[in-house]
Structures are given as C-alpha cells and as structure tokens.
Structure 1
Amino acid sequence: MSNEPDLEALRALAVVAEESSISAAGVRLGVSQQAVSLRIRALERELRVRLLVRSARGSRLTPAGELVVGWATALLAAADEFANAVESLRTDRSRTMRIAASLTIAEHLLPEWIARWRGALGDDGPIGQLTAANSSAVVEAVRDGTADLGFIETPTVPADLGSVVVAHDTIDLVVQRGHRWVTSAPVSARELANTGLVLRELGSGTRQALEDALTDAGFPLAAEPVAVLSTTLGVRSAVMGGVAPGALSSLAVSDDVRAGRLVRIPVRDFRISRPLTAVWAGKAPPRAVREFLEAVSRDSGG
C-alpha cells in the first residue's frame, strides 16, 4: 500500500455511503457509474479489504467500509478547505493587478490611466493596486513577481523584461523666483554640471536621465549634490525654499511654474527627453496587463 491515500476514491466511497447508490454518487460527483465503481474497487485492492456490498437494492458499507469513511471524513474536509483556499487565492490574484510605478508616473499619469481602464472594464474587471517607488525598485518588483506591471522612467530598459514605451517626458531645470539664473538664463551645460543641485536618490529615473544627458553632452555631473531626496515633493519643496536648483519632470513642475512658485531655466543647446516605459516579466504580457496597456495607448493617443 502506498503512503498517501487516494482522495478521489475515498470521496467516492463517502458519497456512495451517503446516497446508498453508485449511480447517484456518480451523478453527484459528475462522473460515470463505472468510474465510481472502478475507484472503489481500486481502493479495496489497495487496502486489501472489502468496503462495499453491492446489491439490486443499492449499495451499503461493510463494517470495514464504515471505519474507513469515518477516518476519511477529516481528511476530505481538510482537502476541501485547501482547495477552497487555493481557489480564493487564485480569484483574488485574478481580480487584482499589482502595478509598481516610478514616482512621476504614479503621481501624475497612473491615477487617470487606472480610472479610464476601470471605466472601460466595469465593476467586474480587476482592481489596480498601485505602489510608488523609484525605477530600480520597480524593475526588481517585476522581476521577483510582486508586481504584474511596472512603469519606469530610465532611458535604459532591462533586456530580461518585456517592455513598451507608453509616453514621453522631459526633465526641466527649475529654480525659485529669486535665483540669479532667472535673469541670466540660459545657462550652459557646463555650468549646470558644475552646480550643486537638489537631486533625487540614486536609482531614480529622473536623476539617471539628467546624468546620462550631461555625460552625452560632454559634461558629466561634477558637483556634489546640495541635497538628495527620495520624493518629487521633497525636491520641489527644497527648490522653492531656495536650497538649490533642481531637475524634475515637466509633469511634476508644470503647476508650480504656471503659478509662479518655480521658474524653468533653459539650458543652451541641451534638452532632456526620456521615454516612459511599461515593463513586465516574460515575452508577452498577461491578458489584464495587455488590456491595461491598450487603454493607456488610447489615452496617450498612441
């Protein structure tokens, strides 16, 4: 006898005991009468004991069969509980799409994208669960499976992930209204590279885009940052407070520029444009991810 019981055979025996009929048990289990009989006969051979008495008036358990069904009750209940838990897990996962996004995209684009996606799907569609992080953390979340879909701002996309560009963004150099650059602009890329700035942390797509663009222009970022902050709001507040100039997404500073809280400073012969990219694990995106990206493409005019 094997160490593990045949759950299908034990369930068939228990249902026959309840129905007093092999044919009725087959209907209840969704299988043929012959399949029920075969399962029980196989169990009898395995246990080397007769479990069921069959007659024209129906089927009944032998004393040994009564004992086996009694022992099997807790086992079958545990198996049902396990199956229900797994199904619940699968259902919850299918109804939730976990999205990780860089801060600029999470704050300024995704709320509208999610609303449009949910509006198109209706109440029966998956729910978007959004986590904001820098681009490096987003990539790791997609790789380790804690995010179904990621959005990053870095110019370079990891080769091991599927990806598609969903929008474009520019990085603006901004200062407070009283800064000397307001009256002396434009500045040069060399001066920018040698000026202490308020920057996002390493791993941020905004910072990476600035550093790459300066390097490509022949003036790698040389000055030490005046401050390094982990949020867009922190950088904006520091720039508005006069700590130092800062480089931020045009999406993040547009309202402040219109209101006069910040001033854009042009850099001579220098512009930073970057792609905003969706990433996922594997070659082809899962269905929910594909539907979301189609909604984003329509919203972005793509």
Structure 2
Amino acid sequence: MGYVPDVEALRLLRAVFETGSISAAARERGVTQQSASARLRAMERSLGLELLLRSPHGVTATPAGEVFASWADDLLHAADRLETGVDQLRGESGRELAVAASQTVAAHLLPHWLVTLRTTQQAAGRPPTEVRLLTANSADTCERVRSGAASIGFIESPEPLTDLWSRVIARDELVVVVATDHPWASRDAVGLDEVAATGLVARERGSGTRRAWELVVEGRLGRPPAEPAIVLANAAAIRSAVAGGLAPAVLSSRVVADDLRLGRLARVAVATEPILRPITAIWRGTARDLTPVARELLEAARAA
C-alpha cells in the first residue's frame, strides 16, 4: 500500500477516541476543528478505510477504526520516545519536567522529593530541573500521564493499571478521624463494619483515598461502604467539616498528623488490620521509556 503514517493525524485520532469529539480533540492538540477534520479525512482517504462514524451527537470508532487505533498506539509510543531522545540530544530534557500528582502526594511527599532532586543535580554540577506540577485526583493524574501532559505521575489508588507502567515507591496508612467530642473519640475501638455503615465526609469519585477505602471495605466485609454524607473537593475542606462535627472521615495519616498533634481531631482505633495503600509512580511505555530527569525524581522518591 505504501502508506506513510501522519503522526499528528494519529494523535488527533487517539484524542478523538478519548474525548468523543473532533472539536475537543482539536482543542487538545492546539489546532482548529476545520484543520483536524481535514487531516482525519485525508488519513481515511489514504488508508481507504472509514475510521470514524460522524453524527450530530459526536463521533465513534468504526470496527476498522478501533483495530487501526490499537495498532497505531505502538507507533505513537515509538514517536514519543523519538521526540524524547531528540530533546535529550539537544540537552533540553532536563530543563522542565511536568509532574502530575494526587493531592496527598503533592502536599505531603513531593516537596521533599523535589528538594532531594535539586540537591542531587546541584551536587553533580548540573542546573536544577524546572518542575511543573499538575495536581489532581488519582484518576485525573492517570489521564494526564496517558495524554502526555505529564511525563510522570504519582497516585494513591491501589487499583492495577494495564495501560501504564507503574512502580510502588511507598506505603500510606489511612486512618479514621472524628471531632474531639464525637462518641467514637472516647471508645477503645470501633468495628470496621460500623465505620463502613456510616456516611463519611469524603472526596469525589476518582480520588485515591476514597477508592482505597472502598476496596478495603469490599475486600474485608464483602460489601461496599455506605454512600458519603457529603462530598468535598479537598482534604482541607474535609478536615474542617470533620472538626465541625459533620461526620467522620477516612484520610491519610500524613494529612491529619498536625490536626491530631494539636488536638483539632481525634483518631479512632478501628478493630481491623491497618489500612494501607500504595503510593505509585506511573508513566507511559515501559521501564526504559522513563526520561532521565523523571528517573532521577523517581529515585529521589524511592530513597525518601
């Protein structure tokens, strides 16, 4: 056939499948909708295949489009590695690193890792890397790594990932906390079943903290926990709501360490094994596809 792939058209196609819209894919790739549509149609003509079913409600992949896209992923990963390699040859790979991290990691772990990275680079006589931090929940962090918006990500969700390379670098304990005048604060221990049956102050779906708690309850009790009493956007809001007596919460021991030390919250002993979750580094490709500076950050995190 002699077809020479248009890499940017392949990236557009992947973005269309991810977003379900040519206009959204065009915005993601930084081109106009007209240009994106023309490029995709040109690729379909070159292939002699219909890849997309277009309708007023959006676009979906044809069976041929799904197969073609799965084959194209290998080529796109190779193109990404080529671009990274060229940047390294130009000496540009160490100038900036985009890092996506879930909230607990970004607030309580990443700052120390970045100090370690900077110290290591300065000791080697190299200019420190400029790090651009993208903070989100664990699910959104995965999406930013998948899209290439971040070179490496750090998440708290314990669920395995099949499309990203991952490495566990630390463990984090989840604890139950309440207001200091809550009835649980004076009890020797509370059963896991009682906590699981209680509506908690929780993060949104996609949060690593919320998902880790759900999986623990499902695994140990064989049922999901009760629906949250209220859903809030960040740990600071949750801590304030708990301190105000709204409801208990399950949070990282790192997040509530100061509140417990200063007596703003009380930790509840739960009659079960410790609730631990992994802190996991994720990136696209395989172990060898991690950029040198991202590998340095990973080693700083593991050392810490």
TM range (shorter): 0.5 to 0.7
Q: Distance in 1 between matches of 2:223 and 2:232?
A: 20
Larger gyration radius, structure 1 or structure 2: 1
Q: Please point out which of 193, 205, 214 is paired with 2:217.
A: 214
Letter matched to residue 249 of structure 2: G
Q: Distance in 2 between matches of 1:191 and 1:296?
A: 36
Q: Distance in 2 between matches of 1:125 and 1:277?
A: 24
1:222, CA displacement in angstroms?
A: 4.1
Q: Distance in 2 between matches of 1:274 and 1:292?
A: 21
Residues 20-53 of structure 1 deviation map (CA, whole Å, 9 limit, x = unaligned): xxxxxxxxxxxxxxxxxxxxxxxxxxxxxxxxxx
- Counterpart of 2:4? none
Q: Distance in 2 between matches of 1:238 and 1:101?
A: 24
Asked if the contact 1:198/1:225 (under 8 Å) is kept, the reply is yes
- Counterpart of 1:224? 227
Flag the 1:296–1:224 CA change in 2: closer, same or farther, 3 A: closer
Residues 199-249 of structure 1 deviation map (CA, whole Å, 9 limit, x = unaligned): 111000000010100111115344321110111111111111111000100
Residues 168-188 of structure 1 deviation map (CA, whole Å, 9 limit, x = unaligned): 001000001000001124111
TM-score by length of 1: 0.67
Letter matched to residue 165 of structure 2: G
Partner-residue secondary structure (3-state), 2:255: helix
Q: Distance in 2 between matches of 1:266 and 1:193?
A: 14
Alignment of 1:228-267 (within 5 A): 228-267=231-270
Percentage identity across aligned positions?
Answer: 43
The runs of 4+ residues in structure 1 deviating greater than 6 Å are none
1:157, CA displacement in angstroms?
A: 3.0
Asked if the contact 1:174/1:245 (under 8 Å) is kept, the reply is yes
1:164 equivalenced with 2:164 (yes/no): no
Letter matched to residue 301 of structure 2: V
1:94, CA displacement in angstroms?
A: 4.3
1:296, CA displacement in angstroms?
A: 1.7
Q: Distance in 2 between matches of 1:238 and 1:170?
A: 21
Unaligned 5+ segments in structure 1 are 1-85
Letter matched to residue 163 of structure 2: D
- Counterpart of 1:107? 107
Q: Distance in 2 between matches of 1:258 and 1:222?
A: 28
Q: Distance in 2 between matches of 1:275 and 1:179?
A: 30
Partner-residue secondary structure (3-state), 1:121: helix
1:125, CA displacement in angstroms?
A: 3.1
User: May I ask how many residue pairs the two structures share in their alignment?
Assistant: 212
1:291 equivalenced with 2:281 (yes/no): no
Q: Please point out which of 147, 159, 166 is paired with 1:144.
A: 147
